[in-house]
Each structure stands twice: as structure tokens, then as C-alpha cells.
Structure 1
Amino acid sequence: MFEGLDDIDWASMEHAYGSAEEIPALLWALRSPDTEERRTALDRFYGAVHHQGDVYPCTAASLPFLFELAADGATPDRAAVVALLVSIGRESLERGFEDDGTEIEYYPPSGYAQAVAFLRERGGEFAGLARDSDPDVRLAAIGGLGLFLDDADRAATVLRERLAAEQGIAARLQVVQAAAALALRLPAASHPVMDWLAGLAADPAQGPVTRLAALVQRARCAPDEIGGDVVPAAVVLLRETAGALPVRPIAPAPIRPAASTDTVAPQIVAAFEDLDRHTRVFAPTAVLLRTFHEVLGARLPERTAVLAEQLSSPDPGSRLDAVRMSGELMRTWRGDHTRLLLLVADQLTTADEEVAAEAAAVLEACHPIAAPAREALAAHIDAQCAAHGSDVWAAPRGHLRRSHQESVRALARLGDTRALPSLLAALDSDVDAWRAIQVAGHLPQAADQLVPRLCKHLRGIDLSQQWTEMSANAILTALAVLGDPAAVPAVVDTLGAAVRHEQHGVTRSALKTLETFGPAAAVARDTIRSLTTATDAHVQPAAVAALWAVGRDPAEVMPLLLGLLDDSITFRIGDAADLLGEIGPPASVALPRLRGLLTHEYEWVRVHCAAALWEIGGEAEAPAVLDALLQAMAQNPATANHVVACLDRMGPLAAPALSLLREQLALPRRGGRFQSIDHDEELQRVSRTLIARLDPQTPAGPSPSTTRSGCP
């Protein structure tokens, strides 16, 4: 067993966490009779050697030995080993090669090409594994037929055989998926496989799940050939599938050891809980339907029709999967999502609290366009309080608590004060108060009630503990947005504590908060001035900006800003340029340096400096500013929000940007910074307003994302 294993210099290779010298021990542990030892080894293999799908040279070097384990009937958990082999190969294909098959070069070198080459040399062995007596091994191996077996006829024959023999839904779905992968990979298999899939989809002798899978995978093979009959047929099959599959309660999440909130920020704990939730799949058709949505792409009405059927399923797991897919659609694609928002909001009234919680979470994540769900959210919150009492924010049942909290957060992000009672209860009880703090800034009309409570929480944070940084920053951000100068003493005290404990992140946040208060924070001017010479890369520019805000003295800040313009750290240059633009014409001494920075290699520097040039120099600088902005936006679409905001300020002089603005609005996918809903909705709004102003004869038209959603 494992001949040649010790001849490999494992110590010379690395995985995600350092030396790969542990791999031989992991391989041997996968043969252990001890269940826990095998589980630990497999977890370590996925966590380090195949970390988040990566394939390192050491991962590829382990493949021959993993094959030995898979082929040896004495190996416990053979199915898990086969699944690992297929995962390594699938990730190698997806990450290591362009769509045309060209290998992508990585530095340091990856193991993608090596893994694929080896697995295709051994591709025939997947045919044997797919016929194994162990159904779990067969299930794990089927995917390898489509990905690695280069004999198209043999692969297709085995897949047809397996579909006829396998009765389990999971195996049949895998067979049809593998057939599509085979057709997409090998031209010789394309037409025969697609014809077979089309026949399966139309065959009434097949079950609805198999027919639906064949319909979807046939569409995946040729998305350009999707006709008007495909989605209606899929909806009918979805309905039949819902009637054919048993309705089961959602399986509880695996229990994990609770992290201590005395040493880990609650936001981090929640992030891992969210990660666990989003890696779970609840219905056997979830992966298939996700594939269908990917194939349909920008066909939003068709996708909404499919999701409407998914959301009407009697199976709670199917609806939960559909709620998540709905969120992904709205976060990724532009359009009028009113119907889908209302369909998701309907899930708030379900008896299954986990589905309701997920629906509320999706509405919260999509809050810039979630206005159509406002009344449903408010009604849900009222119903929960009536049924469970006013302290439902702290309900002991996890799904009920999450459902309420996410609904309150979603309503608060819409600026609706009906969320306020629960937020105040959270801040007063300190139960999951951090969740309330994150959305408090969206209710400025309630600043008189929120600010005292936020300040109390801020004063209660122990900045001698590094893990408290996230909580302090969240409160400071909320106070900055609320803008009530009554918070100045608490923020000044926090600034002092952050400096003493060298909490640079909190120091920067406190400075930014004081900046929003302007002259009302003048009491902190000496402390702020002392931080303008700080060595931390983020603290110094934040201190300079705060110093300008509280003192409004150009003579005091100009030397500091000119020094930052000469910095080698790009974000410091950008911060300095932004502040120079805020100062405006009195900062004209900076014009020569800003002009020189329009040739900087980093497009973000050029964008910030171009905007500053416009604010300081005005019309005389317009040609150079416009050229720099348009080039940067064409090079990096993520700059679009900054670019369009400056173009908006330039007014008629931005006319040469009209074609680029129209091209931007014509894109079906969300754009702007981070391609997030909030940045994209703002980008669309400003772009449409600017187009209408620059070319009144050709109206840009209302944004389909906001026409019926009530967004500003």
C-alpha cells in the first residue's frame, strides 16, 4: 500500500497552512479503523490540502494514493475518498483553465493542470467505481465520468446504464448532470447526449425529477437554444416534482461548539453561523435548480416564474432554498424585482420559523430595493410581538429570534420607525445589541432615543481587549450617521482610550466620527492635531480630515495634505485628494501635484485626484479631469460610483461621458463598487439623472430596479 509515498519530498511543498509534510500521515489516517481519526483526517485534507477548493502541487501529488484508497475494498469511507477525488478534479477544471481550455498560469504554481492530467489518465477507473456494489461509492463516482473519462462512447454508455439501474433521486440527478458535463467537454458526445437528454425530458415514463433534470441539463448544454417553451415546461415539472417528493421538516443544523463571546467578537461568531447556513442544501433538487438559474442568467421574468413555483412548494426545505436563490438573483441582476420581493415577503407568514427567518434576512440584505415588503415586515413584527410578547427580540427559540431580528433590521434599514421599539429593547437589554447597533443609523428621526443608548454601550466597551474593535467601530459608525453632537464627549473619551491601547482601527473610526460633527467637536482639536503625525497608515489621514472639519483652517492642514500626496501608499493619496477637493479653491497650491498624479499607474489614485482637480480648479481642469475619469471607469468598472458622482458635479461639461453612461445602464448585471445593491442602485439613479440633464431630448427612463419599489 502507498508504494513510493515516502519517496516524495512532501516537506518541500506547501498547502494552505504551511508545510505539506503531514500528508502521508493524513493518507494513512484515511485507512484507520477509528471513525474519529478518519473524520479528522478528511476534515484536515479539505481544510488544508484542498483548502476552499484550491489544488496545490502537494494536492495533485496525493492523487495516486487517494486512488489506491478508493480502489481498495478494505478502505473505510471509500465514498468520501472518491468524492474528494472528484472535488479536486472539478475545482482544477473550473479554476485552472479558461473556457476555451487554455491553462491559466498561477504564481506560485498551482496543481490544477497536474491534477486534471492525472485524473484523465485514470478516467477509465471511474467507470468501475460508478458500477461499485456500494451505492455511496457509485454516487460519488458518477460525476467523474463526465469530467475525466475521455472515451465519449464509453462514458455515455455507462451513464445510460446507471440511469436505468439507479432508483435513488440523488444518483439519477448525478447521472444527468454528468451527461451534460460530458457533452460540454467532448464535442463527440455533444449531439448524442443532448438528444438523449431531450428524449428523457419528454418521456412520460420517467419520473418528474428525472425529466426536470434532463430539461435543465439540456438547456445548460445549449443556453442559446432555450425557447419560450422551456421555462413553462420546467414550471409544470416543478409542480409535479413537489407532488412526487415527500414533504420533510428541515433537518436541524449540526451542533458546533459555541465560541466564547468573551474572546471573539459576536459579529465573527455570527459570520461563521451564516457560513454554515449557506453551505447547507435542503432539497434534493436545489443544486439542479441553481444550475437552471445560472443558465437562464439575465432572463429575469422567466427566473421569477421559476422561483414563484419554487416558493409555492409544500416542502419547507425547497422554499428555503428558493428564498436564498431569490436573494442571489436580486443581488446580482438589475431589474424590477417587485414581484419577487413580495413573494419572499409572503414567506414571513409561514409556520416554519427557519424559512421565515431566511426570508427576513434576504429582505434585509436587499434593503435598498425592499420597500415593497415594508408592510409585510411591519405586520410580521407586530404578529410576533402579539404572540410572543414585546421581548421577542431575545426569544429563546433560535429561529424565532432570528426571524424577528432580521425583520426588525430590514424594516429599520427602510427608515421605518416601527422597528424602533425592538431596537430600543435590544439596546436596553444588551441581548444581541450589536445587531441593533448595525442598523441604528438608518433612523435619524429617532436620534434623541438612540444616541444616549449608543453612547452608553460605547462607554462600556473595554478597549484593552483587541476583539472589541468591531463593536466599537459599529457604534462609532452609527453615531457618525446620526450626527447628534451630544455624542461628542463619549466619542472623545473613546478616542483617548483607543490611543492609549493602540487600537488603531478604533482610533480611525473615532476620528471619522468627530469629523462628521465638525466644529462641534472642537474640544478634541488638540488630541486630533497630535494624531496628524501618527505612524499608523490609516490614522494619520483620518486625523488630518478631522482637523480640517473641526478647525476649517487651510493653513494648518495644507502642509500635511501635500505630504500625503507624495506618499507611496495609494489610499493615503486618495484620502488626501478627497480632502483637498473638499477644501476647494483655497487648496490651489496642490494643483500641480494633482495634475501630475493623473498619470499614476493605479486608476483609483487617478479618480480621486481628478475629482479633486475639478473641485479646486473648476472648468479650466475639465478636459484632463474628464479624460482621467472615463479612462479609469473603462479600465475598472468598480470606480463607476466615484466617477459618476464627479461627472454629476461637472454638469454640462460631462456631456462626452453620455455614451459610457448609457453603456453602463444597459448592463444587466449589477455594477459599481463591490457590485452591491446599494452601490449599484445609487449608480443607476445618478446616471439616469445625469443623462436626463445632459440630453433632455433622450430621457434615460426610470430605473427598472426602483420604478415600483418606492426607492428614492
Structure 2
Amino acid sequence: MLVNIGRESLERGFEDDGTEIEYCPPSGCTQAVAFLRERGGEFAELARDSDPDVRLAAIGGLGLFLDDADLAAAVLRELLAAEQGIAARLRTVETAATLALRLPAASHQMMDWLTGLAADPAQGPVTRLAALVQRARCVPDEIGEDVVPAAVGLLRETVRALPVRPIAPAPSHPAATDTVAPQIVAAFADLDRHTRVYAPTTALLRTFHEALGARLPERTAVLTEQLSSPDPGSRLDAVRMSGELMRTWRGDHTRLLLLVAAQLTTADEEVSAEAAAVLESCHPIAAPAREALAAHIDAQRAAHGPDVWAAPKGHLRSSHQEGVRALARLGDTRAVPSLLAALDSDADAWRAIQVAGHLPQAAEELVPRLGDHLRRVDLSQQWTEMSANAILAALAALGDPAAVPRVVDTLDAAVRHEQHGVTQSALQALGAFGPAGVVALDTIRSLTTATDAHVRPAAVAALWAVGEDLAEVMPLLLGLLDDPITFRISDAADLLGEIGPPASVALPRLRGLLAHDYEWVRVHCAAALWEIGGESEVPAVLEALLQAMIQNPATANHVVACLDRMGPLAAPALPLLREQLALPRRGGRFQSIGHDEELQRMVRTLIARLDPPAPSAPAPRTT
């Protein structure tokens, strides 16, 4: 506990070079670290304790808190010579790197020691691999071409040296109840699943991947070796690391996607389930795995029957469900039979509902079932909000007007039970149906004066989508532009931009809002200015958009979408667009894989339009 408190305090209270961060309160981080460093010598004593668990717990304190570099180095050498357990040896080598990074006086001797350990054939492959990785952690900019091949070779030896063990069963989790939504139960189960580690070298390999950073070919080579391990726990951790790499870094991940997809057919159902879950989470780039996913779920249905979605074996059920969800998010109708089985049986139906909106080709089969599920949601219970919202979002995405009566009934019930979140979702769904939702016009109109922060702008948007009465909507939108709640201003600006030139009365207020202190408001208002005012607004719009994108890169998707609509007039943005495309890490809204892939696509398209390659010169004629 003390080591963890100290490590957390160091991360929060000090820069990498040991200087104190100004915002850290003196009574918190800095005092904790000072207290522990005053007692650094005690960690040296505890690291020599006769109890192996005490030694293991204390080793990390040598690197974090002991300021006597020579004493710390001596204890670490002594420990490595005496310890036989893998965990203690890994912790000792890790602590040597921590000491080298923290104390300049220890850096040279610890780095030399790590170099020697990595090359010493008398050491076991686990220790040599640890020394190689930890040295790379100390000087990531100096990782040479020989480091990754050496690490892969040592990893191969390590696999042969360590016993193959079955994956330890995960603890069981409570089921959903009448007061706890199944989505909440699943979220906590996922948190537990993601914090579990199955192989002793996983933390070490995570460190290696962090040191390699944007070197994607090298990291893929390491993961290829990890994924070929005979140990199922090592492969499970490698599948998870593969997902983290693809969700964090840009690049061509086709090879890694196929390697993960190959794990779908493993006999270890937990590994298969994890592979399917990773492909589902990486669905915006998972197209190369489409056929493997389809074959996987078809084979499961053939082997276990059409009800495999609700299989009693947890890992089999999870593997099938995640595979179906990944295929559905790719818009592949081969996922439909399992989704229909889920909706008909009500077994984990919420998982099917979350992805149903990606399959408009199957709307005729999906919409009646989704409507039936929506009818059965009891909106007198607050915990049902998540379920209702998910169904409404799916119906809106499918876009079948046959769903309108059920959505209207849900809107009425949500208003009656003061379920504001469901009211907002129902209004958004009706807006997606457009004039087909006219039967709800009176209810929508009454909600344009609602006091709930989210309901009012959603009602105004639905009023325009359903009624298309500019005279009725404009006063409401102008009122929202004066609202102190920033997202209401942004919502109003978006709708004004959708209306376009007929909303020109809003131009003065939108121009004034370009001086707003919140960059998101400026982005939405600038986009609306362009849509309404056109070319005459370009200088102010460009300045607002580009400044916001520099200030807050999360606005990039919105900014680039507007620049794309501006066409050649967006040419001054070219340098910033090229900078954006050159970034190795994923960006855009929430830095999510979906938003980032969309951002990259838009930026490439826009650059090609604004700066097309020069035509090649014709070849000289010969006689």
C-alpha cells in the first residue's frame, strides 16, 4: 500500500525529472513522497526480509524512495542473485530501471547492469528479456534495430521455459435485478475482466510496447510472437494488448486484425471470446476480419444450435455474442439470425439492441421486435432509462416509419413519468423520422418550453424536423442562442446551420458568439455561419475553426467536416490538416477509433481536393 501510494503521488505530484508540479497541494502528493523518502532505508531492510511476500512488496520502494544510489544498487544485485521466483526477479529488474530514471547518480551503473544481464547466457530467458525491456524503457529513443529481434528471440525462449497453464476461472458476478440495469452489471464485469492479468510476463511486455510507442511494425512483430504462444493466458493478454494498440495508434493494422481473428477458432473459449470482443471494439477497421467472424458464428450455430446466443457456458455465449456484434457493426446481414434469436428469447437482448441500428437492410424483421421490447419497458422505474434509450436509438438509425406509433407512445409515457432522458431520446427518434412524426406535433410543441436542460433543445429540433415551420422555430432557436447553457447554444447553432440561408436573421448573434470563451460554442456557431451566410463569412469562420482546433484537438471532427463543406475556400487550413494527418496517435472526438478513422478519411479527402497532385509530364516523343 505504501509503495502504491508513493508511486501514485509521484505520478501526480512530480514531473519526470523530479521537479514538483505547481498545482499539487503541499498537504498531498509532495508530503507523501517526502515522508516515504525520509524512510527510504527501511525499504532496503524490508527487501531483505525472510518472508518472500514482504520482500516482493518492498522491492519497488528501493527505486522510488531510497536516495542512496549505491545502497539501492547493492541490494538489487543481492536480491537478483538470491531470488528464484519470477515475480521477484521481474520486480527487481524493473526497480533497477526506475532507479536509473530517478537518480542520475545511479543511472550509469544500473544501465550497465541491465545491459550485462540482457547479454548474460547464465541468466534465464525471463531475466534477460526483463533486462532488455527495462533498458529500452530507460532510453526509448535509443532502441536500435537489433532490440526487437532480440526481444522476440528471448520471448520465444521464455515461452519454452515457463509452464503452460489453463486460464484461471474468473470470479462470478451478480446478475441484473429489477433495480440494476444489465448494462451496469456488464460494465462492472468488464472492468474486472480488463484488470485481470493471466501471464507473468504481461506487465513486462506492456512496458516494452510503451517504450516502442509508434513503432507499429516492431510492436506487431512482438505481438505476433505473443499470439503464437502455447499458453492460453499469454495469448489472452496479447489479444487484449492488440486491441489497445489498434485503438490508440494510427496505421495499417490489417495483419494484427487477422492475427486476432485467427484466435476465434482456438479451443480456449475465453481467448476466443476476448478476440471477438477486441474485433467488436475495433469494428471501424475490422473489415479484414469479416469473413473470419462470419465463419466463426456460423460454425458455432452449426455446432451448438440456433440458440447459441443464450448458451449456458459463459465463454461460449460471450464468444458468440461478441462475434455477432462485431459482424453487425460491419453491416453484415449474416449477424441477423442471432440478433433475431436474442430479441425473440430476451436473453441478453440489450446486447443485440445496441448493434441493431447498423443493419437497416433487416429493418423489416428488426423493427417489430424492437418495438415490442420498447412496449415492455416500464418507464415508472428509473433504472429502465438505459434500455429505452438504446431501443429508441436503434429505431431511429433503422429509419422505418412503422416505428413511429411506438415511439410516440414512449414519448407520452416518458413525459408522464418525468423520465427526461427517455423524453430526449424519443424526441430525437421522432426528429429522425421527419414529417412521419407529425402525429406527435402537439406533444413536441409543448416540450419546447420544458425546464430540463436537454429536453428543450431536443424538442425544438424535433419541431423543425416534423413540422418544418420556420416562423414557429426561429424565435425558439434565437432564444437558445442566448441561453447560459453552452450545449444549448451549440444545439441551436447546428439546427440553424441545417436550416441554412432562410435563418439569416440569426447571423448577427452567431457572429457575436464567435467571441464566446468556450471553443465548442465557437466551432458550432462558425459552422452555422458558413451554412447560412456562405462566402461572405469565410474569414471569420476560418479563424474561429482553426483556432479552436489548435486549442482543443477534440474539435477536429467538427472543424474538418465544416472545412470539407467549404471546399476550395478552406485552402488556408492545409498546413493544419497536414499536421493532423501526420500525428501517430489517434485523435478527434474522445480519441476513439471511430472518430479518428472518420477524421483521417475526411482530412485525406479534403487535402486531395484542396491540393491535388500535379499531372505528370508527358513522356518525350521518340522517332
The amino acid of 1:246's aligned partner reads P
Question: CA 1:107–1:576 in 2, change beyond 3 Å: closer, same or farther?
Answer: farther
Tell me which amino acid in the other structure corresponds to 2:404: V
1:204 equivalent in alignment to 2:121: yes
The CA distance in 1 between the partners of 2:414 and 2:278, in whole Å, is 35
TM-score between the two structures when normalised by the length of structure 2: 0.98
Q: Determine if contact 2:18/2:102 at 8 Å carries over to the other structure.
A: no
SS in 2 for 1:600: coil
Match of 2:621?
none
- Offset at residue 299 of structure 1 (A): 0.1
Query: Would you say the 8 A contact 2:263–2:271 is kept in 1?
Result: yes
Aligned twin of 1:220: 137
Aligned to 2:63: 146
User: Which consecutive unaligned segments of at least 5 residues does structure 1 have?
Assistant: 1-83, 700-712
Q: 1:96 touches 1:112 (CA, 8 Å); kept in 2? A: yes
Q: Distance in 2 between the 1:293 and 1:94 partners?
A: 20
Tell me if 1:281 matches 2:197: yes
**In structure 1, what is the equivalent of residue 406 of structure 2?**
490
Is 1:447 the equivalent of 2:354? no
Q: CA deviation at 1:280?
A: 0.5
Q: Which residue of 1 aligns with 2:177?
A: 261
Instruction: Tell me if structure 2 keeps the 8 A contact 1:692–1:698.
Output: no
Report the equivalent of 2:443: 527
- Which residue is equivalent to 2:89? 172
The residue that corresponds to 1:407 in the other structure is 323
How has the CA–CA distance of structure 1 residues 698 and 354 changed in structure 2, closer, same or farther, with 3 Å as cutoff? farther
SS in 1 for 2:292: helix
How far apart in 2 are the matches of 1:590 and 1:207?
73
| Number of residue pairs aligned between Structure 1 and Structure 2 | 615
Map 1:185-584; keep pairs closer than 5 Å.
185-256=102-173, 258-584=174-500
**Equivalent AA in structure 1 for residue 440 of structure 2:** A
Deviation at 1:143, TM superposition (A): 0.5
Aligned AA (2:290): R
Cα deviation, residue 423, structure 1: 0.2
Structure 2: distance between partners of 1:204 and 1:284: 21
Asked whether 1:98 is paired with 2:10, we answer no
Alpha-carbon distance in 1 for matches of 2:466, 2:614: 44
Q: What is aligned with 1:51?
A: none
With over 3 angstroms needed to count, the CA separation of the structure-2 counterparts of 1:463 and 1:694, relative to structure 1, is: same
What's the secondary structure of 1:534's corresponding residue?
Answer: coil
Specify the code of the residue in structure 2 equivalent to 1:279.
T
**Alpha-carbon distance between aligned partners in 1 of 2:159 and 2:199, rounded to the nearest angstrom:** 10
Question: In structure 1, what residue type is equivalent to 2:524?
Answer: H
Q: In 1, distance between residues paired with 2:292 and 2:279?
A: 11
Which deviations, in whole Å up to 9, do the C-alpha atoms of 1:103-122 show, x marking residues without a partner? 23448776111111111110
Paired residue secondary structure (2:214): coil
After superposition, the CA RMSD in angstroms is 1.0
Deviations 1:337-365 (A, max 9, x none): 00000000010011000000000000000
Q: Which amino acid aligns with 1:494?
A: T
- Contact kept? 1:92, 1:115, Cα under 8 Å: yes
In structure 2, how many angstroms separate the alpha carbons of the residues matched to 1:559 and 1:392? 54
The 8 Å contact of residues 414 and 422 in structure 2, kept in 1 or not, is answered as: yes
Find the counterpart in structure 2 of residue 653 from structure 1: 569
Note the alpha carbon deviations across 1:181-230, whole angstroms, 9 max, x for none.
00000011111101100100001100000000000000001111100000
Deviation at 1:254, TM superposition (A): 2.3
State the distance in 1 between where 2:611 and 2:333 align. 39
Q: Structure 1 CA distance, aligned partners of 2:455 and 2:23?
A: 35
Is 1:618 aligned to 2:534, yes or no? yes
Rounded to whole Å, the distance in 1 between the matches of 2:153 and 2:595 is 37
Cα gap change, 1:341 to 1:698, in 2 (>3 Å): farther
Query: Does the CA contact (< 8 Å) of 2:248 and 2:585 recur in 1?
Result: yes
Cα pair 2:519 2:552 within 8 Å, conserved: yes
Q: Shift of the alpha carbon at 1:100?
A: 3.1
**Structure 1 vs Structure 2: percent identity of aligned residues?**
87
Residue in 2 that maps onto 1:56: none
Equivalent residue of 1:657, what SS? helix
User: 3-state DSSP class of the match of 2:306?
Assistant: coil
CA distance in 2, matches of 1:110, 1:616: 54
Is the contact made by 2:557 and 2:599 (CA closer than 8 Å) also made in structure 1?
A: yes
2:601 is matched with which residue? Answer: 685
* Alpha-carbon distance in 2 for matches of 1:421, 1:103: 59
CA distance in structure 2 between the aligned counterparts of 1:97 and 1:641, rounded to whole angstroms: 34
Deviations 1:351-380 (A, max 9, x none): 000000000000000000000101111111
Aligned counterparts of 2:339 and 2:526: Cα–Cα separation in 1: 42
* Cα deviation code 1:224-280 (max 9, x no counterpart): 110000000000001000000000001111234x14421111100000000000110
Shift of 1:697: 2.1
Is 2:12–2:24's contact at 8 Å kept on the other side of the alignment?
no
Structure 1 residues 584-618: Cα deviation after superposition (integer angstroms, max 9, x where no partner): 11111110000000010000000000000000000
Tell me the residue number matched to 2:100.
183
For the 8 Å contact 2:375–2:406, the answer to whether it is kept is: yes
Range with greater deviation from structure 2 (376-385 or 291-300) = 376-385
Q: Which runs of 5+ in 2 are unaligned?
A: 616-623
Match of 1:117 in 2: 34
8 Å contact from structure 2 (residues 90, 130) kept in 1: yes
> Residue 13 of structure 2 contacts residue 24 of structure 2 at CA under 8 Å; is this kept in 1?
no
CA distance in 2, matches of 1:608, 1:273: 38
Q: Distance in 2 between matches of 1:255 and 1:175?
A: 34
Q: Distance in 1 between matches of 2:151 and 2:27?
A: 40
The code of the aligned residue for 1:461 comes to V
What do the CA deviations read for 1:58-82 (whole angstroms, capped 9, x no partner)?
Answer: xxxxxxxxxxxxxxxxxxxxxxxxx
